[in-house]
Amino acid sequence: MGKMQEKIYNSLPYPFKFVLLNIKAFQNSKQRYTKEFDTFLKEYVDLWNADTSRINTYQRNKLVLLLSEAFQYSDWYSEKMNKLGITIKDIEENPYNVLQKMPILTKSERKTNPQLIVNKNRDTDGVGYTSGTSGAPTINYLDKESINRSFALWRRFHKAIGLETKRVKQVRFSGRLIVKPDSKKPPFWVYNYFENQLLMSTYHLTDDNLGNYVKKLNRFKPILLDGYPSAIYIISRFINKNNLTLNFTPKAIAVTAETLYDYQRLEIEKAFNCHVYNQYASSEGSPFITECTQGNLHLNIDSGVFEFVNNKGEKAKAGEVAQLVVTSFTNLKTPLIRYNIEDTVLLSEEGKTCSCGCVMPMIEKLTGREDDILWTKEKGYVGRMDTAYKGLEGIVKSQIIQESPGEIIVNLIADQNFDDQMKEKLVYNMQDRLGQSINYQINIVEDIPLGPNGKFDAVKRNFAIEI
């Protein structure tokens, strides 16, 4: 939705919002759920439980197609390949060797050169934008096949965790402005009839409003809750703190777009009495990483090729935190080949296997964006700061900001249980993880603003480091 459209939408009375949103939902459904979608979904569902040989063959064939089209129809990639002396024959004979010769595509290059990167042989059937965590969204051109394949992979994930593949009754929390940001009274949601989906605002999750959210959830009784973990966590904490009773139990909660922290998972699972499944993709078209019924994160290698680089710029080893470099099969109009997506993961130890039936490789954790990685002289690179809150009480919401290597600011929304003892323990935990020589500033605040597109930044580093 463009800025002008968004402004007009926000100025309309609620019934008109419902009508306009559902007109758009109808158009999206017609575009996403076609006969081709059904074909792709069957293809991906079959691959989920296929043997390693078949999956590897599929990946190789898709890589040949991607590199061949980029060579022939993308000005950006054809220039790179020609300079490297790469030919179509090279691609067909050894696509993985060709891939390793290609330079890594950076975020800034992707952002400033979309017209050169696009595949000119494919129609533009959709135009979107990334959420712009850096403050400047990136334009994203899509063709029909890319749209259908992305949604088929998403539905494959649903099927793998025991859900139906179409029209699952669901609640979604995302950064969309579905009601006015300054609204004081419900509804803070709009129903999407065509996807059987209740879209709930992430901009109105205040103490005064949370009771209304819970009442609506009890009336709607979703099978699936989906979206930002920070938003679902806030509601979960309210439910648990007030000993509220839900009259439904969802089959699954699937979170995405933000880092899922262990304390959030525990709180959400306690409130809703069901498993929280983590997933990773991106609006730019990254290959998928999805959690299975055994709680393991599988690289969906039928959606792309994953490379892992450690902080020395070398191929990461088992057990290391690694930077993701991705080559994607899910956006054929705007190809991503060896793209530094600036997200990090913790690699599994060698030899780990899963009993869910899927043989696709696994990682241990999704650790977040590069901006989530802190750095101090004493401790070096530090991720997963959620462990600093273990054993603490009274913290409603918190944000860690590192302004410089020697300065940490922690902004807290706290209740009466957060006292001087808890503050001392928090500082102690921070010192244990980041070092003794840091200046720690703990601020009790009334609100912590959401980041771009309604996402919550639990950790922010405001200076550059070499990762």
Whether 99 and 201 map to the same domain: the answer is yes
**Given a cut of 50, is residue 134 above it in pLDDT?**
no
Residue 407 resides in a domain: yes
Of the candidate ranges 165-169, 251-255, 364-368, 373-377, the one whose mean pLDDT is the lowest: 373-377
Residue 466 resides in a domain: no
Q: Give the up-direction half-sphere exposure of residue 157: CA atoms within 13 A in the CB hemisphere.
A: 30
Whether 112 and 185 map to the same domain: the answer is yes
**Given a cut of 60, is residue 467 above it in pLDDT?**
no
Domain final position from 332, 350, 370 = 370
188 vs 372 pLDDT, higher one = 188
**Given a cut of 80, is residue 53 above it in pLDDT?**
yes
Domain final position from 370, 386, 402 = 370
Distance from C-alpha of 424 to C-alpha of 410, rounded to nearest angstrom: 13
Q: List CB contacts of 189: < 8 A, sequence separation 6 or more.
A: 178, 179, 198, 199, 200, 201, 216
**Given a cut of 70, is residue 131 above it in pLDDT?**
no
**Given a cut of 50, is residue 314 above it in pLDDT?**
yes
**Can you tell me the mean pLDDT for 167-181?**
85
**Can you tell me the mean pLDDT for 99-120?**
93
Average pLDDT, the chain: 89
Residue 200 resides in a domain: yes
Whether 299 and 439 map to the same domain: the answer is no
54 vs 29 pLDDT, higher one = 54
Residue 467 resides in a domain: no
Whether 179 and 126 map to the same domain: the answer is yes
Kindly calculate the radius of gyration of the chain based on its CA atoms and give it in whole angstroms. 23
Residue 447 resides in a domain: yes
pLDDT tier at 462 (50, 70, 90 boundaries)? confident
Residue 80 resides in a domain: yes
Q: How many domains are contained in the chain?
A: 2
| Residue positions counted in the chain | 467
Of the candidate ranges 20-24, 67-71, 354-358, the one whose mean pLDDT is the lowest: 20-24
Q: List CB contacts of 278: < 8 A, sequence separation 6 or more.
A: 254, 255, 256, 260, 290, 291, 297, 366
Q: Can you give the CATH number for the domain in which 434 is found?
A: 3.30.300.30
Question: In this predicted structure, what is the pLDDT of residue 433?
Answer: 78
**Given a cut of 70, is residue 273 above it in pLDDT?**
yes
In this structure, the dihedral spanned by the alpha carbons of residues 258, 260, 266 and 269, taken in order and rounded to 10 degrees, is: 60
Question: In this predicted structure, what is the pLDDT of residue 20?
Answer: 84
Whether 303 and 449 map to the same domain: the answer is no
Residue 50 resides in a domain: yes
Whether 255 and 382 map to the same domain: the answer is no
Question: In this predicted structure, what is the pLDDT of residue 180?
Answer: 79
Whether 409 and 282 map to the same domain: the answer is no
Contact between 352 and 320 (Cβ < 8 Å): no
Whether 355 and 388 map to the same domain: the answer is no
Of the candidate ranges 222-226, 259-263, 404-408, the one whose mean pLDDT is the lowest: 259-263
**Can you tell me the mean pLDDT for 94-106?**
97
**Given a cut of 70, is residue 6 above it in pLDDT?**
no
Domain final position from 347, 370, 393 = 370
Question: In this predicted structure, what is the pLDDT of residue 142?
Answer: 93
Residue with tokens 């060896």: 338
Task: Give the amino acid at 199.
Answer: L
Residue 258 resides in a domain: yes
Whether 237 and 138 map to the same domain: the answer is yes
**Given a cut of 90, is residue 464 above it in pLDDT?**
no
201 vs 130 pLDDT, higher one = 201
pLDDT tens-digit series, residues 415-425:
888 999 989 98
Whether 108 and 196 map to the same domain: the answer is yes
Q: CA separation (Å) from 55 to 45, 47, 161?
A: 12, 6, 20
Whether 158 and 299 map to the same domain: the answer is yes
Q: Can you give the CATH number for the domain in which 296 is found?
A: 3.40.50.12780
- What residue numbers bound the domain in which 9 lies? 3-370
Whether 260 and 115 map to the same domain: the answer is yes
Q: List CB contacts of 330: < 8 A, sequence separation 6 or more.
A: 146, 149, 150, 153, 281, 285, 286, 287, 288, 303, 304
